[in-house]
Structures are given as structure tokens and as C-alpha cells.
Structure 1
Amino acid sequence: MFTFTPLLGAHSPSSTGSSSLLELDGGVKVLVDIGWDSSFDTTQLIEVERHTSTLSVILLTHATLDHLGAYAHCCKHIPLFDRIPVYATTPVVNLGRSLLEDLYGSAPAAAGLVPASALGAGSAAGEDSPQFLLQAPTAEEIAGYFSRINVLKYSQPHQPVPSPFSPPLGGLTVTAYSAGHTLGGTIWHLQHGLESIVYAADWNQTKESLLPEAAWLSAGGSEVIEPLQSPTALVCSARGVEKSHVIPRKQRDESLIALVRETISQGGKVLIPTDSSARVLELAFILNQTWRENMDGPHAATYRNTKIYLASKSAKSTMRYVQSMLEWMNEGVMRDAEAAMNAKVNAPASGPLDWKHVSVIDRQSQLERAMRKKHPSIILASDTSMTWGFARQAIELLAEDARNLVILPERVTATEDGAASGLGEQIWQHWASGTSHVSSHSGVKVVDSSGSTLRFRHSEVASLESNETQLYNQYLARQRQLHSTQQGNNTGSGELATADLIDEAASESSESSDEDQELQGKALNLSTQMTASQKRKGGLTTEDLGINILLKGKGIHDYDVRDKRGREKVFPLATRRHRADDFGELIKPEDYLRAEERDEIDGVDLRDQTALKDAAVGQKRKWGDDGGRENSKQQNNKRSRLDRPGKSRAPDDIDAAIARATGEAMGNGATKESSALTNGDEDSPSEEESDYEPEDPDSQGPRKLVYTTQELTLNCKLAHVDFSGTFEKRDFLMLLPLIRPRKLVLMSASTSELDSLSTECKALMTRDGSDAEKQSVFAPRNGEAVDMSVDTNAWSLKISRKLARKLIWQNVKGLGIVALSGVLKTEPDVEGADDAMDEDDGTAKKKLKLAASLADSKMEREDPDAHLPVLEPIAASAQAGVPVARDAELNLHVGDLRITDLRALLRAQGHTAEFRGEGTLLVDGCCVVRKGAQGRIEVEGGVGSGSNAGLVRRDHGNSGMGTFWQVKKAVYGGLAVVGGAS
């Protein structure tokens, strides 16, 4: 049995996220992808959270926001999620980590919002309710989540390990194949019993400049590879099949370069909004290769004066990962890279992965400095939606210049009602509806925006106000109370509860990692935990505290436990769990810090939550600490005033301090020289400018999301070149008859795309006159389960003990196979029934009926499958004329013999075996061995003529057998001989 349920992305024109649930026999549940979209709506993950406690395995397909954007969020905020085994390829792991680091570093809304229902009945409803942010995963946590992913290679069958709360997987085997579209993109093949499932999301059959094509076809390109042939179910995405204008890849690349060259020749800048670490690699590779090839051409001056920038907060790590993943790229890039590495030392060649023409921008100050420069440039910035990342900031800087150009590499979808709210959506609609064309040699539609004004909503992070802080504290208290009620521990008050939370968050041992699952998803920001006095002032009612009021309430020594259940009837116990490893109890380094090393905020020591007022005798103070003296403000030294330019002290900048000290020592001459360097040529990068960006002071405290409406005036030009890298409808309709799936599921697309493709697929799959019920096409909606079980002639029965003792099992690829012959009996035999039938009176029938009923009732109690038919051995009197499976003539040969293994076996026996053409092996110059498309081995004799052509004999050694018969024997020796019993 196989049930498919789309959790996200089905029949949705706006949400591009993808997530699907595959339910197999035995309660095995496989989650494929944990996608998200630029709205970062946590309600899209409700179904994922509901199924988390029953999931067995998670598979990831692509390193894009659509396929793993919510992975880190689920690991942090959904209990037990990070205990589920995850499988992906190496590029998906590395590039996915880089993507999420950029996401959480650039988009505050990616942390997720606290649901309005969790704020209590007293909070304001609707748009007026405060948008409290959940705690976002840190870079260390993201690295930890991705380090747990199990890495697989292409064409590597693997039997995954189930999660701790999953039933046995029953021999589930998963295999990854190349999907194109992204580096390391995966088509998953799942084999479970009789079910063969192919899951293909966002694949691309076209080989690109850097990325390989999907691995559907074999080397010859005439047929689909054997593991992906005739699956019981094919799950395929349909997004992008309604492309209005599809051009070949080479023409697409030329159009992009023509647009870029035309813009930079006029002194303009080009912005290409794309993702952080997936499709951006193809764009960067094409531009870098073009710059390499044209540095000595007729337009060399134009290319030399133009810079290519890769702008994202994780751009450095992305480029570092790409350098180590050469084997995942297409064959042409691999050959060029190997040739460059094997070049002579005195004449080194520049390899295809030499990104010397691409500069990395990972700070906002670097982006602003690059945009202020006069020379033309090309900016590859994240993200396509322009709601977060450097793309939104870049378009605000270049939108007013009519010489600049924005190239949209893929379509940006609108919301459900068709209204465009985001900046990227409005720019796409402005291009799609534009009628003003600018002449271009590229043949691409270019629209002149001509002063259009766009209004879009921008999100910013703000600190909480006083009334919001109280509401947020109440929310935290309710979450703690809910957690303690559900888990039955951690009911301690004040500092003990906070210390336990800090211990659990900081511990890395296996024991603590199991216990930490209970705390995930509760939105407890450890850095903003209230002290014991603040908790008592949090506005908690008696109902909120429950029985914990005996610990947290002052002067309360009684609690009514009548009509209470569970832990509400037991006196609460505040226990602090001590962490220990093989070397004893763990210590906290902050307990051993010196006074000047402790972090201090507003005079409060974060370690013991005590205010520092008057310094005791022998106690050290930090520089500038007034020690509680009233007139100390008038005695602050010069350094303290320099370090505090305003009311709040800015973070220390070591480089600025050194420069300031050097300037004071050298006098005015050095100051004038520094000023001359700073105010010099704008085009040359100034080494005196600091890239330091102060962190948000509220980044560690409770925060909320504030939306503001902004306006943007567009004077630049707009264009679209399709670099989405997904398959075309024509490719899919050509491959479908070769794949020959029993059932087809279409997902991850809008309703129009699904209806259009499903109609053509139904007509194509039933063209050969086969039954439409056996070859069906489904397009379910989100949450709609579809039964995709195989319609086979399979029944359940029991094998008698006599027959089971005669079976000879053969192990073939992890499966037990046996052939047998028997007789089915639907009624159980009762001992003594034959003797009873010989009696003359009717007492025998009564005894037989009573014995049968007693046997049935006993079997029902002991075995629920007692009424299944039983397969018994064939009686000796009935065996005459019945062909049994144990005869040598009826033995079955099962298995898949590889020609390379047969060649090695024959060479070990003294034969000469050479490959002659694809799939053909010539043995001793007279015998030919071929392997057909369906895996059938054919052995033919190549010498002689007539009827004896296939029976050529050639003596080898002392055996006296010919080559033909020895080859036949070797073929049968490589297969499993399945005998039987009767």
C-alpha cells in the first residue's frame, strides 16, 4: 500500500514551497522536502508538525527555499523533528546551509511570528495585535542541524535508519539520481516491497553550462535507465509547464550576455535578483566564462571596466563550497577543470572554477560602496522576491537611473487573489503588462518603466513597548506552564527553571539532546528570561500557575486538589537536573569568570542576576564604572567620553581605535593624508573605509515585526530571461511513454498548470488502449490523501508447517525468494475426523462440528489470521502429472548479472573477454554475450554457420567443454537458482 499526501504547494499560484508525505506499508512515513516561501507563514507548517511524531525518514531534493527553507525552523521549534534521520546529497547539505545562513541573517521575518491565539484572550485581535517574533536559529544551530544530515551519492542504494519513534522500515531502499536544476539536485527512487516510487521535483532535462541534466536516460539516450523504468507511481512537479516562450539554452545564454553588454556599454548597471546558493551558480558561471573569453577581444575595454558582484551574506561560504564539489558538475566542466589541474607548472591554465572575475559582497556597506562607483557593474543579489536580502537594497539604489537594467531570471508569482504585494511581484507584473519596448540585439522584451511608482510593504524589527513586554512575559509564562503540565517536570521557580533551560540549551551530550526535544517549539528566548522577581510580577493568575502557586506564591500554603487530575493533585517538586559526562559533572565556565570578564548590561551581572552597586573591598571594577558614587559622572576621563559619543555606547571597533590612536600620535599631517585618501577617486576602493556594521542592540531580546509602506520610483529598464532551469512540457511528454509509470501524481503547481498537464498525460497514458483505471493521473490538493497502491494479484495465506520445513530460501538483493507448489485448504483439519466419519450414527457429525467450533474459537484467540486459507503439501496420490517447482527443469534463475562482473569471472577462468560496442562482450573471439534492455542475457556463438553456429566448441584446460557452454555456465553461476518444495 502506498498513500501520497501533498502538504504544501499543490494548487497554489502563490506558495512555491514543496512538501509531501509518502505513507507505505507497516506505518512507514517518508517526508520529502520541507519547503517554504518568502511569506514565512508558520501556518503552512501545521501539517508537518502534526505528522512529526510519526515520521520515519526525511528526504531533501534541492538546496532552495522552495524545498528546504523551513528545515532549520522545524528543527528548532517542532519537538522531536531533529531526531528524524535526514538524507540528501553533499551539495544540498552544503548549499542549503549557506542558503539558511543568508536567510536568517537578512530576513528577520524568517524567524516566524508568535500565533495570535497563543497571546491569550486579552490581547488585541486582527492587524492591531503585536507581531512578536520567535527566536531565530543561530549560525551554530544551523550548522548543527545540517551536520546531522546523512550524505548519499548518486546511484547509491541505501537502506535508511528509522527514527526512534518509527516502526521498522521493512527493507525500504532509497537511491538518489541527478535531477539537474541545481547542484546536487535529486530524483529519489524508493523501493519498498512491491512498491517502486520515483519522486522527481523540479528536474531539468537540459544540460546547462555548469549543471548536469537529469539522469532519466541511459548513455545512448534511447531509453530510460532500468531503475527508473515502470515505477508503480511517478510523483512529478508541474510548475513552469505553461511557459509562454521557450528558447534553447544556447540562445538563452546569448540573450543574457547581449542584454548585459548593451547595458554596460552605455555605462549602466545590471541587477539580477536570484537565490543565494543554487541557481545563482549557473548565472555566475556564465558571466565569469564570458569575461574570461573576452578579456582580449574587441570589447576588452568594456569588460575590464565592469565588475561582477555576488551579493549575499553567505556568498563567501557558497563560493568555498563550490570549489570542492567538482564531481557534481557536468562532464564538460569536469574535463576542463582536470585539464587545467594537469597543465604544466611553467604554463598554468585558468580553470573553469577560477572565479577571479566575480567579487563577493557580504555586507551592506560593501554593497552601497559598489553602487556608488561610477563604472558599470553586474550585481547577482538575493532574493528573487526582493522582500529580503541585498536585491531589495540594490534596486532602491539603481532604480532612478534610466541606464540601469533589472533582469528577472524567473517568474515571480502573485498572491491567491492575483494582487501583487511584494516588490518582486509588482516588478514582474509591470514587465508582463508593459508595452514600451526598447530596441535590443538580444531579441528579448525590454520594458522602459518611465517613472512608474511602486508601493510595497517592508518589514522592520523593533523593540517591545512597556505594555507589549508584559503581554510577551505572560505568553512566555503560559508556554512554561504548558510545558511543565505536559512534561511533568521543570516546575521549578525563579532561577532554577531558567538555569535548567540554559543547561539544556548549552549541553551537547547525547543525554541532553534527547531531553532538549521537549523544549523545542516553546519559543523560550533564553537571553530574555525574566528574573524571579520579574516572573512574580508577570500578571499571572491563580489559574495560570495551578498547583505551582505553592512554590511561586508568597504566604500560600494550601491548594484545593478536589476534582483535579494528574500532576495537579501532587505537590510540585522543583528539581534541577545535573549534567554529567564520562568525566563527571559538567561545569559552567561563567561560574569561574573574573569580575571584569562578566557580561554586564545596565549594571546587572547576567550570571547571578545581581546588581552591581557599591564595590566591596578588593572588588575590581570595569573602566569607567562609577561604583555607585553620586559625583562620579563629573570625574569621567577623556577615554570614557570618547567611547560614549551619545546616550548609548557603540560597540568597540578595534581598527577604528588603532587608527584613532595612530592619528593622535602622528598629528595633523596624518589626519590630512587620511582625509585625502578618503575623498579621492570614487572609483577606486578606499582602504580607509571600515566594513564594520554594528549589530542590532535588540537582536538578542524580545522583538516584534513592524510593517511600513514605502514607495519606489522606477526609471530603469526591465527584462526577463528564463533561468528557472525546470523541464519543459515537451520533454515530459516525450519521457512519459519511456518511463511507463502505473500511476502519475502531479504536484507543486497552480491549478491551471496541473489541469493542463494532467489532461495531456491522461490522453498519452491511455493511447495504447490500456485500462484507464490502472494507469491514472492524480493532482491532489494540500492535505488530500491519494491511494497509489499497486493493483496486483496478491492474496494473504498461511503456509503449513509441513510445507514450511521443505522450503529452500534464496537471498536475492536482500529479498527472500522461493518457488513452491501446494494445495489451498480453507477449512482446518480436525484430528480424528476421518475415524469419526466411519461411525454409523449421527454422533460423529456432532463431535466433528463441536471439535471444529472449539478449534476455531481457540485459533481466533491465539491467532487473528486463523481464518486465512492454508497452503498444504500436495498429497502423494495427487502428485502424478503435477509439475512441481523442485524439478530442475522448472527452477527459476533470479538476479541481475552485470557484464563487467561476467568479464572478470571469465578472465579469472582463463578466457579472453573484451568489450565490443555498448553492452557486448566478445569471449575468446568466438562467443558474444549481450544484455538486452530488460536485463536479459543473450549468449551467441560467433564461429561456424548453419544450425551449429551457436554450438562452437573450443577446449580449455582439462574440462573438455567448449567456450559457449562455459560462458552459459558462468552466466547461470552469477544468478540465484530458486528451487521449491511441494
Structure 2
Amino acid sequence: MTSIIKLYCLSGAGDETPPCYVLQVDEFKFLLDCGWDEKFDMEFIRELKRHINTIDAVLISHSDPLHLGALPYAVGKLGLNCPIYATLPIYKMGQMFMYDLYQAHRNVSDFDLFTLDDVDAAFDHIVQLKYNQSIDMKGKGLGLRITPLPAGHSLGGTVWRIAAPGEEDIVYAPDFNHKKERHLNGCEIEKLMRPSLMLLGAMNADYVQPRRRLRDEKLMTTILSTLRGGGCVLVCTDTAGRVLELAHMLDQLWRNRDSGLVAYSLLLLSNVSYNVVEFAKSQIEWMSDKLTRAFEGARSNPFALRHLQLCHSVIEVTRTPGPKVVLASCPDLEAGFARDLFLLWAPHPQNSIVLTARTSPGTLARELIEKGGDRVIDLTVRKRMRLEGSELEEFLQQQRLKVNNTIKEETAGVSSDSDSDGELEMWVVTGRHDIPVRHDTRPTGCFKSNKRHHAMYPFHEERTRADDYGEIIKPEDYRLAEIVDAEGEIRDVPPAPPQKQEPDEEMIEIPSKCITVQRQIHVKANIQYIELEGRCDGESLLRVVSQAKPRAIVGLRANTASLLTLSKHCEAEGIEKIYIPKKGDVIDATTESHIYQVKLDNGRVALEGVLSEEYYKVRELLYDQFAIV
């Protein structure tokens, strides 16, 4: 049985825009990834909106915004409502990516494309899968089966295999790495053999990658020379993906006393740095065989990082004395803590800026990779500042007016409802609670009125703080009430002084404003590009294509030169069909030509007598002429 297969290229075709495709198999539609770029291009969103109501399932291959950045917008604003399939690490780390991305933009602008509630709503739709766990689709997807396979590149990264009715196998591999790394295994190439259709990310098809040993030595040399010269090193990395490889590698270097790095500080800076490391500790089974064996044998967690200090603000970094190495998000330098530190450290020649990924064209990081440093660049600097002086007074006056208007509205509403009782209910704001107070204005009488309604005291629910293992335990709550002193006598422990409760940060909203200024930055710091993306290099990518031997291949998300290299290689390997689409194209990848689908309802199938004979004649004729589904 042959399926009708079409691919709608919404983004990530003919260029380096984020991957987002609609794959139609007969009547069932998959959304393959839902990435968003650093500029939050709305043109791509308009294309996605046209298909949003017809999508039956979403497949996510990696946890970074490049692969799922538009998912909160699609769920929260466009109304995407279907199962989303991903591995457990993508579910965990994807949330960290989106939390950090949202907060990075909220720190400097009035970002409103999506909210944290939209992020939570999107990830609530995710169905968590394990590697090699097959799931059968239902409804219109009857006969379809999806299987996530290890892809390398990032924790939980996935190559999707979609089995269509018959012998149609579709492999979706936007980003993968065949090599083993410190914390990840490589992809399993043997499970990608002989697919009917391969959807391949061809970004590195013409890329010549230096050996890992040379890249590690270059990073080590840059760090040592900068620190010994009294400077600081900014390593621009992501939030919860490739940063794990870097953090594990550098912590191992710091443990080596012969490296000379123990005297310096190693910091991890992001809005969710603590959560990322904690999640990594709990996902060792998704990592490399080497780390898994070490954990099972010595019971030592490889991500119990001894020398890595976790920071959540630039102030914490600046307060750390002496030369230091900082792993900061985001790698594109368009927002986030990496941009903040770049503005601080780039004008000083003793510092170094290490770029670890080729981000999208047009970003600051990509410009520095292509043009280098030691020049003056114009930057748009956005800041969020607290209101002061007349602006603060004006803001407070507006808040007072809002409160007064609210009280008047509530008072008027209560008065109209309480005329029979002759009472006036006022609201008194005290800290967290709005306490309703009744002022009795009616004349006292001999008899009580049954119509009197007493106000209820507002209830404030205390939120229980918890982690992945349940409610957080305070050791002081279990302290013994008595101890034995040095002389062997038992005496009582004096009660600890009561801790002063800090006001809930969520209840306090500090008035602020966002400003935008143009600045000229003279980049004097040492700019180094050390590729640590964890993707397949060009030679290996082409070798994987040769070994997989797909009957048809679609080259995705790459520039013209890379796509041309892939096309020539496929022709040399004798691959039957090669598709090089552009953004907006629709690829008809159906294996057989002249395919028709004929549907017969139950009423017509059950015909008897003369009509039944005519039905079977027509049916035999159709079988002779066409392939019937």
C-alpha cells in the first residue's frame, strides 16, 4: 500500500532559518519542530497560522529555541491543541530554555509575544517518550507509527522515524552527531538504513571541522593566557543544551591541579542555572555509556560539579573577585547575560570572548565570527531602569487613582445590595489581605434582621515549596531539643531566634521602564570562534547519506553552497530523487506516480443484487488501472 506524502516548508528551507515543516501522510499531518529565530520573525508565524487547525501531532527533535521556540506562541496565541511528542530531557530542558529566553527579554524590554503561562501550557501538551519507544497514531493516523532514535548533539536529541502504511519509512534528522562526546553518545546510524524518504538538515554539508583535540587545546590556551594576563573569559553558550558538555569539560580541567586553574573562578550564568544542573544530575541514563558506568560503579554523579559556581545575575559575577571564566547564555549575543557581559568586557584588551556556535545570519555573534574584533560597532542597548523622581511620583499617583476608583466601585456595589440592611461595607488594604469592614449605619431596633450578611475573611493559601523529590525539608525543623555537653550532662538547646520573613517577591512589583540607546562599542577584547556545536561535519554527513541509502532525500536548513554539495553527492551515489526546496515550497514526495484514493462508504459496499454486480465490476476495473487505498 502506498501513501501520499507531502512536505510543506514553512521555515528552514533554502536558508538557515529555524526548522518548521508540516509533513502530510495521507490525511494525517505532523508538525516537525516549531523553531523561532533570535529576531522573532512574524512572517513565519503567519505561515504557521494557516496550518494550525489541521495539525494532528507535533514532533520535537531538540530542546533549544531553534527547534521549539515558537511552541508557546502556537499553543497560547494560535490555539494549537494536539499531542506533542518529545523525550523526557527535551521536556525538562526545553522549559529551562524558554524560561531563560523569556526572562532575558523581559529584563530589557516589554516582551509580550508569549508569557510563562503560555510556556507551561505548551509543555503540558507534551507526551514524554523514551528512545526506541514506538507509538501508534490514532484516528486519521491509523497505521502510522513514530519512533524516537538517539541523535546526539543535545541531551534527549532525537531523530524521528515515521513508519507509514506499507513499507514507507520516513526519517527526519535535522541535527545529529555521529561521534561520541563526553556526556552524550552518538546517533545510531544503523537504525537509519534504507528509508523511503530522508528529511536531512544539510547545514554542515560543506563544513570542514577541526579535530576535537585541536579545538579543546585552543579553548584551554585561550583560557590560560587570558586568566594569567589578568583578564576574564566570556564563553557564549546556550541555556541547557551544549552548556552541559562545556560545564563538564571545564569542571574536569579545574579538578586537575596541574592545570593551574584552581586559583581562578568558574561561573555558570543564566536565569535557571541551578535548575539546569539539578535536572542534569537526574538524567544520567540519557547520557553517554562512560558516564552511566561511572555512576553505576562509584555512585558519583558526573554533574556534581565541584568548581562550577552557579550565578543568576551579572551582579553576582562582578562581585566575584579576580580573573574568571563565565559560561553565559545566550550564544547569539542578541539578548541575555552573554550580551550584558559582552558590553562590559569587550572594550578591554585583556579579556577574551569565546563564541561556540554559528548562530543565525544577522546576529551579533555571527557578525563577530565573520568580521572579527578590534573595530568599532554600533549597538542598540536596551535596559530596564527603576523609576525615579517625577516619573516615580507620577506612577504612584496613577496607582492611587486606580485603587480609589476600585474602592468607589466596590463601595457603590455593596451599598446598592445592602440598602435593606442599612450597612456600608469598606475594604481596608492591610499587607497581603483585603479585609472587609462593615460600618453599621442603620438605626438600632429591638429585633434583629435576618437579612444581615457577614463578610468572610479572605483566605490566603500558603504555597508549599517543593522540588522533584517532594516537599523541601528544613533540617532545623528536626533539630534535637537537647544535647550532651563535654562533661556528659544533658542540657536543653536554646530555641533559635525567629527568622525575619522576607516579603514574597512575586507580591512586590517594582515600577520600572525600558529605555533604548545607541552605543558605539570599540571591541578590543580577543575574539575567538571555537566550534563546539556538536553537529556532524561535512565529510561525516555525506558518509551517513551513503550508508543510509535513502530512495529520496530532501535537503533542509542550509545555505546554497551546502545544498549544492549535498545534491552532487546524492547524484554520485545514485539516489533516485533529490529535493532542494525553498521556504514556502510544497514537496510531493509520494513514491508512486498517479496515485488515487477511492473511498466507499458502508452503504455502497453493502449493495446487493444487480447493483452489487455492477459494484464489483467497477472495483475490478479500478484495481486493474490504479492502486486503491
1: CA distance, partners of 2:384 / 2:585? 37
* Greater RCO, 1 or 2 (C-alpha within 8 Å, sep 6+): 2
- Aligned to 1:783, which of 580, 584, 587? 584
What runs of 5+ residues in structure 1 fail to find an aligned partner? 112-131, 162-166, 217-223, 342-349, 416-421, 432-448, 464-598, 625-689, 767-774, 805-827, 832-853, 872-982
2:49–2:78 contact (8 Å) kept in structure 1: yes
Q: Which residue of 1 aligns with 2:466?
A: none
2: CA distance, partners of 1:601 / 1:392? 39
2:384–2:515 contact (8 Å) kept in structure 1: yes
- Aligned to 1:231, which of 195, 213, 228? 195
Say yes or no: does 1:428 pair with 2:393: no
Q: Which residue of 1 aligns with 2:132?
A: 155
Alpha carbons of structure 1 residues 303 and 4: separation in structure 2 relative to 1, 3 Å: same
- Aligned to 1:197, which of 162, 170, 179? 170
- Aligned to 2:377, which of 454, 462, 468? 454
1:92–1:184 contact (8 Å) kept in structure 2: yes
- State the one-letter code of the partner of 1:235: L
- Aligned to 2:330, which of 355, 362, 383? 383
Q: Which residue of 2 aligns with 1:183?
A: 155
1:236–1:747 contact (8 Å) kept in structure 2: yes
2:85–2:127 contact (8 Å) kept in structure 1: yes
If each structure's strand is expressed as a fraction of its own residues, which one has the higher value? 2
2: CA distance, partners of 1:109 / 1:134? 12
- State the one-letter code of the partner of 1:190: I
- State the one-letter code of the partner of 1:211: L
Equivalence map 1:598-677=2 (5 Å): 602-604=402-404, 610=410, 619=426, 621-622=428-429
Q: Secondary structure at the match of 1:868?
A: helix
Q: Give deviations 1:418-437, integer Å, cap 9, x for gaps.
A: xxxx4323322332xxxxxx
Equivalence map 1:275-354=2 (5 Å): 275-292=238-255, 294-295=256-257, 297=258, 299=259, 302-341=260-299, 351-354=301-304
Say yes or no: does 1:107 pair with 2:105: yes
1:103–1:110 contact (8 Å) kept in structure 2: no
Q: Give deviations 1:507-562, integer Å, cap 9, x for gaps.
A: xxxxxxxxxxxxxxxxxxxxxxxxxxxxxxxxxxxxxxxxxxxxxxxxxxxxxxxx
Q: Which residue of 2 aligns with 1:527?
A: none
Deviation at 1:694, TM superposition (A): 11
2: CA distance, partners of 1:603 / 1:353? 50
2: CA distance, partners of 1:748 / 1:201? 8
2: CA distance, partners of 1:184 / 1:601? 52
Alpha carbons of structure 1 residues 749 and 264: separation in structure 2 relative to 1, 3 Å: same
Deviation at 1:141, TM superposition (A): 4.1
Q: Which residue of 1 aligns with 2:204?
A: 240
2: CA distance, partners of 1:795 / 1:269? 65
- State the one-letter code of the partner of 1:149: I
1:205–1:214 contact (8 Å) kept in structure 2: yes
Deviation at 1:73, TM superposition (A): 1.5
Q: Give deviations 1:87-135, integer Å, cap 9, x for gaps.
A: 0001111000000000111114999xxxxxxxxxxxxxxxxxxxx9646
- Greater shift in the superposed pair: 276-285 or 754-763: 754-763
2: CA distance, partners of 1:54 / 1:108? 32
Alpha carbons of structure 1 residues 600 and 184: separation in structure 2 relative to 1, 3 Å: farther
Deviation at 1:830, TM superposition (A): 9.3
- State the one-letter code of the partner of 1:315: S
Q: Secondary structure at the match of 1:263?
A: helix
The alignment covers a number of residue pairs equal to 525
- State the one-letter code of the partner of 2:97: L
Equivalence map 1:67-146=2 (5 Å): 67-79=67-79, 81=80, 83-108=81-106, 134=112, 136-138=114-116, 140-146=117-123
What runs of 5+ residues in structure 2 fail to find an aligned partner? 387-398, 416-422, 432-502
Q: Secondary structure at the match of 1:603?
A: helix
Alpha carbons of structure 1 residues 278 and 600: separation in structure 2 relative to 1, 3 Å: farther
1:309–1:359 contact (8 Å) kept in structure 2: yes
Q: Give deviations 1:314-349, integer Å, cap 9, x for gaps.
A: 1111111111100110111111222221xxxxxxxx
- State the one-letter code of the partner of 1:354: A
Deviation at 1:313, TM superposition (A): 0.6
2:76–2:121 contact (8 Å) kept in structure 1: no
- State the one-letter code of the partner of 2:119: I
1:187–1:199 contact (8 Å) kept in structure 2: yes
1:426–1:454 contact (8 Å) kept in structure 2: no
Deviation at 1:381, TM superposition (A): 0.8
Say yes or no: does 1:868 pair with 2:622: yes
2: CA distance, partners of 1:88 / 1:43? 26
1:275–1:382 contact (8 Å) kept in structure 2: yes
Q: Which residue of 2 aligns with 1:366?
A: 316
Alpha carbons of structure 1 residues 693 and 723: separation in structure 2 relative to 1, 3 Å: farther
1:178–1:214 contact (8 Å) kept in structure 2: yes
Equivalence map 1:486-885=2 (5 Å): 602-604=402-404, 610=410, 619=426, 621-622=428-429, 697=510, 707-765=516-574, 775-791=576-592, 859=615, 868-869=622-623
2: CA distance, partners of 1:70 / 1:175? 23
- State the one-letter code of the partner of 1:253: D
1:604–1:611 contact (8 Å) kept in structure 2: no
- State the one-letter code of the partner of 2:219: L
Q: Give deviations 1:416-471, integer Å, cap 9, x for gaps.
A: xxxxxx4323322332xxxxxxxxxxxxxxxxx44x221022345799xxxxxxxx
Deviation at 1:171, TM superposition (A): 1.6
2: CA distance, partners of 1:110 / 1:359? 25
- State the one-letter code of the partner of 1:150: V
1: CA distance, partners of 2:525 / 2:507? 32
Deviation at 1:726, TM superposition (A): 0.9
Alpha carbons of structure 1 residues 276 and 410: separation in structure 2 relative to 1, 3 Å: same
Q: Secondary structure at the match of 1:285?
A: helix
Deviation at 1:367, TM superposition (A): 3.3
2:20–2:34 contact (8 Å) kept in structure 1: yes
Alpha carbons of structure 1 residues 263 and 56: separation in structure 2 relative to 1, 3 Å: same
Q: Which residue of 1 aligns with 2:22?
A: 21
Q: Which residue of 1 aligns with 2:441?
A: none
Deviation at 1:288, TM superposition (A): 0.8
- State the one-letter code of the partner of 1:206: K
Alpha carbons of structure 1 residues 429 and 865: separation in structure 2 relative to 1, 3 Å: same
TM-score by length of 1: 0.49
- State the one-letter code of the partner of 2:204: G
2: CA distance, partners of 1:606 / 1:136? 28
2: CA distance, partners of 1:423 / 1:361? 24
Deviation at 1:855, TM superposition (A): 8.0
- State the one-letter code of the partner of 2:350: R
Deviation at 1:791, TM superposition (A): 3.2
- State the one-letter code of the partner of 2:568: T
Task: Please tell me the root mean square deviation across aligned C-alpha atoms, in Å.
Answer: 3.7
Q: Secondary structure at the match of 2:622?
A: coil
1:305–1:376 contact (8 Å) kept in structure 2: no
- State the one-letter code of the partner of 2:195: P
TM-score by length of 2: 0.76
Alpha carbons of structure 1 residues 7 and 263: separation in structure 2 relative to 1, 3 Å: same
2: CA distance, partners of 1:38 / 1:394? 18
Alpha carbons of structure 1 residues 604 and 356: separation in structure 2 relative to 1, 3 Å: farther
Q: Give deviations 1:700-747, integer Å, cap 9, x for gaps.
A: xxx9x8754222122211111110111112112222232111100110
Deviation at 1:379, TM superposition (A): 0.8
- State the one-letter code of the partner of 1:291: W
Say yes or no: does 1:8 pair with 2:11: yes
Q: Which residue of 2 aligns with 1:434?
A: none
2: CA distance, partners of 1:168 / 1:786? 21
1:158–1:175 contact (8 Å) kept in structure 2: yes
